[in-house]
Amino acid sequence: MTESPLAPSWLSYPSDTSYLNPVMYSNGTTRQVSGEVTIGTVPVSELAATYGTPLLVVDEDDFRARARGFVEGFNRAFDSLCGGVDVYYASKSLLTVQVARWVAEEGLNMDVASGGELAIALRAGFDPAKIGLHGNNKSDQELTRALQTGVGRIVVDSLSEIYRLAALAESAGVSAPVMLRLTTGVHASTHSYIATAHEDQKFGLSMIPAPGEERSAAEQAVLAVAEHPHLRYLGLHSHIGSQIFEADGFTAAADRMLNFIAALQTQHGITTAELDLGGGYGIAYTEADRPRAPEDIADSLAEGIRATLQSLTIDCPRISIEPGRAISGPAGSTLYRVGTTKTVWVDDPTGADQPVPRRYVAVDGGMSDNPRPVLYDADYSATLASRVSQADPVLTRIVGKHCESGDIVVRDTYQPEDLDDQDLVLVPATGAYCHVMSSNYNALLRPAVVAISGGSARLIIRRETDQDLFAREV
Ligand code: LLP
């Protein structure tokens, strides 16, 4: 067997299908001499037998190490420049009560994007002063809860929200801590649905004055917040998108924000104490992705900010960042059990006469536990985890069990030809945006989540049962 003409150009033909590329798998994921994969020394067969499949396995030690990596890497780079950095974990990427406790224990702050995420963080005992609340359309209840519980920053997204928040703060007898989310116009090279700083999308306050207006929405917003007795102007926020590898976008956004901050200072005498540059650091889903280490990202961002500050007459504001995926993503992997398989023969795209094979391997989950391939054309990788095989690698598509042909788990991967019924397959880098975006489509039961730490596994979210399917029926 050789390379398939159906394979995408980034996918290389493996010399060894049992190899676990460390860029994609959590630090605790290894293959034993027996051939079986272990996560934090726990064999996958034991995980499957104890907790069932599909199963989201979160390597807690890896998660914590990545969280610390951001805190340490960014503080080292920014210490002398801006007096350090506050790291807000973007909880939308993976949130359970226990995950929130890990984040607290590692000394990070937390970004929540809804009342529900806020409720989970508070339930975990997370210090509200270290929480930032986001959302482009927060409800009065969400804002009130944030005010009543003493959330440290409310990231206001629109002009109308300013007045709504001010009224709620006044009736609660408090002053609301406000950050303003601006759209820098920086276009990040990522899927358009997860790029967020270009003009033509729903988030944030524009930095460009509307036709006929003297001031941009961003400038109007800062003036309104700074003047209001029930609002406390903390600073500005920018998030350019997600799954971004190049440093240029982050640096360009920081440059625009700092120039805006300097203009506020000279034109209006308004000081901006804090600047949040959002999250979005990319991770490796496949061998083609080349993520950068947090300390590298921090160094290039600090270099850019240092250069910008040299031409401005402002002090560096307190910087914060909001990584989500880069902490939770590589820590998680999903264990599936293989069921049915088949081989189809399709036209050779190079025009050769003979049709070429593609193997389909169906697993016991799919778009309900990972909607990312369907939503964003996301690519993943996989490995046969319960054993090694000497069989030839063949181009394989791992699919789910839903009633949709787009229900793909891993679009293109080379797997041993004998991968079959009852084998266990491990899909890495599913820690972020899988559990939190899972659904009950086709009334499938959402998988359990297991955390692995210090060589042992424990359940942190139990598998759903039929009772959960009926729970909301009236
Ligand atoms: N901060 C803000 C304001 C955000 O909107 C986001 C992500 C983050 C931080 C964290 O971004 P991260 O570091 O995780 O890339 N469901 C999509 C991703 C949506 C991201 C939304 N905002 C996906 O599965 O790719």
For the purposes of burial, counting CB atoms within 10 Å of the CB of 354, is it exposed (0-12), middle (13-18) or buried (19 or more)?
A: exposed
Phi, psi dihedral angles at 79 (to 5 degrees)? -55, -55
**Residue bearing tokens 């942190």:** 460
Annotated binding site for substrate: 325, 372, 376, 404, 433
How far apart, in whole angstroms, are the C-alpha atoms of residue 134 and residue 137? 9
Q: State the amino acid at position 164 in one-letter form.
A: R
How far apart, in whole angstroms, are the C-alpha atoms of residue 182 and residue 466? 44
Annotated binding site: 280, 322-325, 372, 376, 404, 433
pLDDT of 196 reads: 63
How far apart, in whole angstroms, are the C-alpha atoms of residue 307 and residue 300? 11
How far apart, in whole angstroms, are the C-alpha atoms of residue 381 and residue 457? 24
Give the residue, by CA position, lying nearest to ligand 1 atom 16. Answer: 433
CA of 181 to the centre of ligand 1 (A): 14
| Residue to probe by mutation, ligand 1, list 66, 92, 321, 430, most atoms within 8 Å of CB | 92
pLDDT of 251 reads: 94
β-pairing, 356-363 with 393-399?
Answer: parallel
CA of 418 to the centre of ligand 1 (A): 38
Number of residues that make up the chain: 474
CA of 280 to the centre of ligand 1 (A): 6
Contact 229, 236 (CB under 8 A): no
Tell me whether residue 434 is one of the annotated catalytic residues: no
CA of 289 to the centre of ligand 1 (A): 18
pLDDT of 195 reads: 60
Residue 147 DSSP class: H
What single string gives the DSSP state of each residue in 315-372? PPPEEEE---HHHHTTTEEEEEEEEEEEEEEE--TT--SS-EEEEEEEES--TTT--H
CA of 323 to the centre of ligand 1 (A): 8
Annotated binding site for pyridoxal 5'-phosphate: 280, 322-325, 433
**Which residue from 78, 61, 28 is spatially nearest to 309, judged by alpha carbons?**
78
| Residue to probe by mutation, ligand 1, list 93, 134, 245, most atoms within 8 Å of CB | 93
**Who contacts 201 (Cβ-Cβ below 8 Å, separation ≥6)?**
183, 195
Cα-atom radius of gyration of the chain, to the nearest Å? 24
pTM (2 d.p.): 0.97
How far apart, in whole angstroms, are the C-alpha atoms of residue 91 and residue 116? 11
Measured from the Cα of 329, ligand 1's closest atom is: 14
| Residue to probe by mutation, ligand 1, list 66, 238, 242, 276, most atoms within 8 Å of CB | 242
The torsion defined by the Cα of 129, 134, 138 and 140, in degrees rounded to 10, comes to 10
pLDDT of 198 reads: 73
Give the pocket of ligand 1 (CB within 6 Å): 90, 92-93, 111, 134, 194, 239, 242-243, 278-281, 322-326, 372, 376, 432-433
How far apart, in whole angstroms, are the C-alpha atoms of residue 394 and residue 178? 55
Give the residue, by CA position, lying nearest to ligand 1 atom 9. Answer: 279
Cα separations in angstroms, 23 against 31, 279, 336: 15, 20, 21
Q: What is the pLDDT along the chain (474 residues), one digit of tens a residue?
A: 689 999 999 999 999 999 999 999 999 999 999 999 999 999 999 999 999 999 999 999 999 999 999 999 999 999 999 999 999 999 999 999 999 999 999 999 999 999 999 999 999 999 999 999 999 999 999 999 999 999 999 999 999 999 999 999 999 999 999 999 999 988 776 655 556 667 888 999 999 999 999 999 999 999 999 999 999 999 999 999 999 998 889 999 999 999 999 999 999 999 999 999 999 999 999 999 999 999 999 999 999 999 999 999 999 999 999 999 999 999 999 999 999 999 999 999 999 999 999 999 999 999 999 999 999 999 999 999 999 999 999 999 999 999 999 999 999 999 999 999 999 999 999 999 999 999 999 999 999 999 999 999 999 999 999 999 999 999
pLDDT of 426 reads: 98
**Residue bearing tokens 């003493």:** 150
pLDDT of 437 reads: 98
Among 82, 316, 403, 434, which one carries the catalytic annotation? 403
pLDDT of 183 reads: 94
